[in-house]
Amino acid sequence: MSAPLDLQATYIPNAGEFFRVKLALEIAMDEVVNEPGCLRYELTEATEERLVLTERWASQDDLDKHAKGTALQDLNESLSALLAEPATFKQL
C-alpha cells in the first residue's frame, strides 16, 4: 500500500470574484469528499487575494481517478473565467 499524498491547491481570484470562487470550491468539496480515497479536501485559507485548498489522498491511484473525475472537471469549468491566473498545485 502506498503512502497518503498531501497536496495544496492555490487559487487567485480575479478582483471582485472571491465569493464566486469560494462557492465553486465549496460545491466541489461537497462532491469530492465522497470520492474513494479522499481523506481530506478542505479550504485552509480564504482571503480576497487567495484561496488554498488542502487535499489528502490515500494513494496516487485515488488522486489520478480524482483528476479525471467529473467533480474536478466541473470545478475547472466553473473557475475558468474567475481566476486571475491558473491554479497552482504542490505536493507537501
Question: Which structural domains are found in the chain, ordered by start?
Answer: 5-91 (3.30.70.100)
Q: Say what the pLDDT of residue 2 is.
A: 75
Burial 27-40 (b: 16+ CB within 10 A, else e): ebbebbeebebbee
Cell of 54: 488542502
**Could you tell me the pTM of the whole model?**
0.92
Cβ atoms within 10 Å, residue 86: 11
Q: In what order do the strands lie in the sheet with 88-91?
A: 38-46, 51-57, 5-11, 88-91
Residues 33, 35, 38, 43: what is their CA dihedral angle, to the nearest 10 degrees? Answer: -30
Q: Could you list the pLDDT tens digit for every one of the 92 residues in the chain?
A: 578 999 999 999 999 999 999 999 999 999 999 999 999 999 999 999 999 999 999 999 999 999 999 999 999 999 999 999 999 999 99
Sign of CA dihedral 66, 57, 75, 12: negative
